[in-house]
Structures are given as structure tokens and as C-alpha cells.
Chains A and B, each alone.
Chain A
Amino acid sequence: MSITTLRGDTPVIETHGLRRSFRTRRGEVEAVAGIDLRVDAGEIVGFLGPNGAGKTTTLRMLTTLLEPSGGEATVAGCDLLREPRRVRERIGYVAQGGATDPTVTGRRELVLQARLYGMDRATAAARAAEVLAALDLEACADRKGGTYSGGQRRRLDLGLGLVHKPQLLFLDEPTTGLDPQSRAHLWEEIRGLREQGTTVFITTHYLDEADALCDRLAIIDHGRIVAEGTAEELKREIAGDVVTVGVGNHCAEALRLLEHQPFVREASIDEGTVRLYVERGEAAMPQILRLLDGGGITLQTISLARPTLDDVFLRQTGRSLRDEAA
């Protein structure tokens, strides 16, 4: 008899060609253009992409809120299209904009939510108290939601998503708009969930969040997954270093001059700078200086860095996430 391990061989989410198009006045728009995704039990998987890339649409399909236009998916062991009700029993969802009424107390919201998942009155009350304690919300449990701070409200949203102990939790942009301390606090809560065996699926456009929290990442752009792997794997794909050269208005000339040099693997222009992916940054910098000098281009700034997730993102999508987040 084989022993089933938690991690690695049980897909909690598995999709094949999942897509969704919307009809607009200008015709059909494909928001999600066929996604193949696999998430295993106990993982924290990050879904990274700029606004409008299809992150939320994918999430809304996987949480039964939006009917897919095509493809198939299994979520928490149930068929998404044929058994949406059973999927709902097994998952939790924390929406981007929150989900609480400002005139209702946190405790009331939690008790109602627990009862909607089928718990009786006493069990629901006990479970609500447990969640309030775990999320450090006891002090404001009986105050109306409208009086909560941003961090408290977000923790209550998280509590509502996991009051029924789902095996799979979806978080849509969980820390958007939070101060750094509240973000760190929430990250701790999310890491704690993994320790209890909960699978977590997060969308984010914060690279530090993806880097700090996620076991695995999928980068989505224009409704397609363009890269997938651990943060380290993705960074390793961009071998070598990144040299960023500031040349003011002469980017195009500088790019022409540098892009075909043997030591340059890839080059691109990004907002008044030229980004060069090179084998060995220390060796490349003197050569770059010499070439620019010879070409009559005045160098304003030059910097050398190890690749970050933003570089991965830029390479895969041609856009920088940093601008989106700013």
C-alpha cells in the first residue's frame, strides 16, 4: 500500500485550456486565453501579472463566480463545471475589495459566514471566537466593521475566507493598500496557513510579496501564462547580471551600439535607460563605458544588479511591474 504524501502528487487545482471571453461593443475580448495550471496540496502559489492581465478573471472562474467560456478544471477534487456546489464547500475566497458590511460587527459577520457553511449556532460562535483570536481581532470583534483600520478589515476578510477551514484558499491581491507593518502581519498569517496544510493561491502585483511568500509562481500576461516556476528558477533563467545604463535621450543609439556585442545576451529600453543582460557584469562594465565613449554618447548613470523578479517579469512581458505598483 502506498502512502499518499501531502505535497507533490495531489493536484488541488488542475486546469486545461481554461478560457474566458467577454463581449464588448468592439467585439469579443479574450480576458483569459487558455490556461493550463497545476497547484499541488500544501503549496503557496503566486499568480503574478499587471492589471488587466487576467489574474482576477482566472480567480473568479476557479471560485465558481464566473462561468468559463471553454476548457476544464478540477478544483479541490471536484469538477468546476459539473459540481460547483461541492467546489464551494471546499474552498475559501478573499476578494480584492473586501467583503464586509461597515454596519455589521466582525463577530456577526464571522458567525453568519460559518452558518452559511452549515455549522450550527454553537459551533459557529465557537469557530468565530477561534478565528478572532487567531487573527488578533478580539479587541474589535464587537465593533462595527466601519470602525476598523485597513489592516484589521483585511484580517477580518481573511478570517471570513477561512472560517470553515477550507483545504484551498484563494486570495486576490491580499495586501494592496496596506501599510508595511500590516502587510508583514498578514504574510505571517498566510505562512501559518501553509503549516496547517492549507493550499493558498494568491494573485499579486507586488514582487516582494511573491518573492517572500510563494513556493511557486506563474506569470500571466494578456490572458496567458508566460512563465512558471519557483522564484529562484525564474531568476536563474535570466543568467548573469543586469547592467542598467542611463543615457538620457540617446537610448536608441546606445541600444544600437550595444545590443550586438558578444557579451550582451539581451538588451532593451526601459524609461530612459538601457537594460543589458550580460554574462559577467564586472567584466562588461568597462567595455560598455568604452563603447559609449567611442560612440560619443554621454553616460549619466550606470548600475549593476543581480536579476530580480522584476527582470523576469520585464523579460517575459516587456513591461515593468514596478511601474504598475507605483
Chain B
Amino acid sequence: MRVLRDTLLVFQRSMGQTLRNPVWVVVGLMQPIYYLFLFGPVLKPVAQLQGFGGSAYNVFVPALLVQMALFGCVFVGFGLIAELRYGVIERMRVTPMSRLSMLLGRAGRDIAVLLFQSTMLVLMSIPFGLHITLSSILIIFALLLLIGLGMACLSYGLALLLRSEDALAPLLNAVFLPIMLLSGMLLPLSLAPGWLRAIGLAGSTVVVGIAVAAGLAALTISWAARSFGRSVA
């Protein structure tokens, strides 16, 4: 009960800050829109290749959604470092509030922003020729939620550990780049050689994908929540 209440309080505060300065939500949405308009047409002839696995936009839009989940959530730790510097986190740690809520309230805001952006992108892609059913939208949104949650909590955990933007930026990039390439975001992994497909778990079922994302999210949540609670000198 306490966790729920405190999570909501932190969520409201974080959301308020985002809504007072919504430029980041818009910037986060601009990037996939650029890809949609300026890169999507390039893919149309490539989609004829054997092994591409479907029409250009049906392959490309899910990749853009995953990209948004990764990109949008991996850098949220920077905001936390600012809050650490202001002393806001320490102030909250002296109150009896739930430590898990400090994490989940913030990550909840990140997920809310992500799902809003994803909805916008899916709606904009339909005129380009995206064919999608409601059930597959729900499945992919569940997957996005788990990916976003895992990334955001990883970012928060690292921010608490490093406490400096200068150290956080290169480390996040080092984590982010291989994940992005292995996600098959740029070109489908079905075009890749066997060893690369194996590392990227290409060809596995949606259930396996969701299970892996859920596992990673659970892992990063418990790690980052502990970091919030632990004494930091």
C-alpha cells in the first residue's frame, strides 16, 4: 500500500516536471519520425531481398519502436544525477518513504512517455503502409514496456553508482550500442550470419523475447531499487 502511494507521489512529481518542459517528449518523437520519412523509402527496394521478412514498414516500424524504447529510456539517468546534485534524492531518503517507489515512480514516468510516443508513431505509420492488428499492438507494447523498464532502471542504477554525467555518458553508450545492433533495429537479423543470429536470439518466439525482456527488467529493477536504499557516501 505504502509502495503504491509513494510510487504515485514520485510519478506525479516526475510527470509534472516532464509536462512543464515537454520539449524532450517531442525531441524523442522527432527521431523515429525522421527515420520514417527519410530512411523508410530507402528500405522499400531492400525489402525485396530474400530473407528480409516482410513489407518494408512492417519490419521497420517495430524496429523504430524498439529504438525509441532503447534511446528514450537509456539516458534517463542524467535527470537523476541532476536530482542527486540538488539534494532531492537525499532529502527523500531521510523520509520513511519506500525506496522501491523512488525508482518505480520515475521509471513509471519514463514508460508513460514512451507509450505515448509509441502510440503516435504507430498511428503515423499506418498511412505509409503499416498493417497491424490490435492484438499485435498489445503484444509489442507489452514488450516495449519491459524493454523501457529494464533500460530506465539500468540507467538509474548506473547513475546512482557513478554520480557524474562525464562517467555515465560513455558507459551508457558502451551498453547501448551492442544492444541496439543485436536488436536487429537497422536491418533484420534474418540477413545476418548464423553466429550473429544466435547471439541476437534471432528467430526465437515472441514468448522467449518477452521472457528475456521481463527477466532483464526484473533484474535491473531489484538492483536499482537496492541502490536507492543503500547508503551512498
Q: Does A113 contact B (CB under 8 A)?
A: yes
Evaluate contact between B93 and A65: CB separation under 8 angstroms.
Answer: yes
Q: Does B45 contact A (CB under 8 A)?
A: no
Q: Does A100 contact B (CB under 8 A)?
A: yes
Beta-carbon contacts of B161-197 to A below 8 Å, as 1s and 0s? 0000000000000000000000000000000000000
Evaluate contact between B95 and A98: CB separation under 8 angstroms.
Answer: no
In the complex, the chain A residue whose C-beta lies closest to that of B88 is A101
Which residues of B in the span 3-47 have a Cβ within 8 Å of any Cβ on A?
6, 9, 13, 16-17, 20-21
Evaluate contact between A64 and B94: CB separation under 8 angstroms.
Answer: yes
Beta-carbon contacts of A89-122 to B below 8 Å, as 1s and 0s? 1011101011111111000100011011110000
Q: For the complex formed, measure the closest distance between the CB of A84 and the CB atoms of chain B, giving whole angstroms.
A: 9
Evaluate contact between A112 and B13: CB separation under 8 angstroms.
Answer: yes
In the complex, the chain A residue whose C-beta lies closest to that of B87 is A99
Q: For the complex formed, measure the closest distance between the CB of B184 and the CB atoms of chain A, giving whole angstroms.
A: 38
Q: Does B126 contact A (CB under 8 A)?
A: no
Return chain B residues, CB-CB under 8 Å to A115: 9
Size of interface on B: residues with Cβ below 8 Å to A: 22
Evaluate contact between B90 and A95: CB separation under 8 angstroms.
Answer: yes
Q: Does A16 contact B (CB under 8 A)?
A: no
Q: Does B97 contact A (CB under 8 A)?
A: yes
Q: A98-B86, A99-B86, A112-B13 are in contact. Are A63 and B94 (CB under 8 A)?
A: yes
Tell me which of A60, A65, A116 contacts B6 (CB under 8 A). Answer: A116
In the complex, the chain B residue whose C-beta lies closest to that of A20 is B233
Return chain A residues, CB-CB under 8 Å to B86: 98-102
Return chain A residues, CB-CB under 8 Å to B95: 88, 113, 116-117
Q: For the complex formed, measure the closest distance between the CB of B96 and the CB atoms of chain A, giving whole angstroms.
A: 4
Which residues of A in the span 142-196 have a Cβ within 8 Å of any Cβ on B?
160
Size of interface on A: residues with Cβ below 8 Å to B: 31
Beta-carbon contacts of B194-233 to A below 8 Å, as 1s and 0s? 0000000000000000000000000000000000000111
Q: For the complex formed, measure the closest distance between the CB of A107 and the CB atoms of chain B, giving whole angstroms.
A: 13
Evaluate contact between B94 and A85: CB separation under 8 angstroms.
Answer: no
Evaluate contact between A103 and B17: CB separation under 8 angstroms.
Answer: yes
Beta-carbon contacts of B69-91 to A below 8 Å, as 1s and 0s? 00000000000000100111011
Q: For the complex formed, measure the closest distance between the CB of B85 and the CB atoms of chain A, giving whole angstroms.
A: 8
Q: For the complex formed, measure the closest distance between the CB of B4 and the CB atoms of chain A, giving whole angstroms.
A: 13
Q: Compute how far the CA of A160 lies from the CA of B9 in the bound complex, rounded to whole angstroms.
A: 16
Which residues of A in the span 62-96 have a Cβ within 8 Å of any Cβ on B?
63-67, 85-86, 88-89, 91-93, 95
Q: A22-B233, A67-B231 are in contact. Are A116 and B97 (CB under 8 A)?
A: yes
Evaluate contact between A112 and B9: CB separation under 8 angstroms.
Answer: yes
Which residues of B in the span 92-121 have a Cβ within 8 Å of any Cβ on A?
92-97
Quick one: which of B9, B21, B94 has the most chain A CB within 10 A?
B94
Q: For the complex formed, measure the closest distance between the CB of B80 and the CB atoms of chain A, giving whole angstroms.
A: 12
Q: A100-B87, A103-B20, A103-B21 are in contact. Are A91 and B13 (CB under 8 A)?
A: no
Q: A98-B86, A115-B9 are in contact. Are A91 and B233 (CB under 8 A)?
A: no
In the complex, the chain A residue whose C-beta lies closest to that of B229 is A84
Evaluate contact between B96 and A89: CB separation under 8 angstroms.
Answer: yes
Return chain B residues, CB-CB under 8 Å to A160: 91
Q: For the complex formed, measure the closest distance between the CB of B88 and the CB atoms of chain A, giving whole angstroms.
A: 5
Q: For the complex formed, measure the closest distance between the CB of A100 and the CB atoms of chain B, giving whole angstroms.
A: 7
Return chain A residues, CB-CB under 8 Å to B6: 116
Return chain B residues, CB-CB under 8 Å to A113: 91, 95
Q: A65-B231, A66-B231, A112-B13 are in contact. Are A99 and B96 (CB under 8 A)?
A: no
When A and B form their complex, which 6 residue pairs have the shortest distance between CB atoms, in order from nearest?
Answer: A99-B91, A99-B87, A88-B96, A116-B95, A93-B94, A116-B97
Q: List 6 A-B contacts (CB under 8 A).
A: A22-B233, A66-B231, A85-B96, A98-B87, A101-B88, A116-B97
Q: Which residues of A contact B (CB under 8 A)?
A: 22, 60, 63-67, 85-86, 88-89, 91-93, 95, 97-104, 108, 112-113, 115-118, 160
